[in-house]
Homo-oligomer: A and B are copies of this chain.
Amino acid sequence: MAMKVLLKKVTITAERLLRDELIEMIKRHGATGWTVTAVEGEGSRGNRTSDFEGRNSQIDTIVSKETASAIMEEVAEKYFADWAIITYAVDVEVLRGEKYLGGN
Task: List residues of chain B with CB within 8 A of the CB of A33.
Answer: 41-44, 49, 86
Q: Mark A35-63, 1 if CB is under 8 A from B, else 0.
A: 11111111110000100000010100010
Q: Give the bracket for the number of chain A residues in contact with chain B.
A: 35 or more
A77-98: which residues lie under 8 A (CB-CB) from chain B?
Answer: 77, 80, 86-96
Copies of this chain in the oligomer: 3
- A42-B80 Cα distance, complex, nearest whole Å: 26
Q: Ordered nearest first, which 7 A-B pairs have the shortest CB separation?
A: A33-B43, A88-B92, A35-B41, A35-B39, A76-B95, A89-B93, A36-B40
List 18 other contacts, CB 8 Å, given A1-B73, A80-B95.
A33-B41, A33-B42, A33-B86, A35-B41, A35-B56, A35-B58, A36-B39, A37-B37, A37-B40, A44-B99, A44-B100, A75-B95, A76-B95, A86-B94, A86-B99, A88-B94, A90-B90, A90-B91
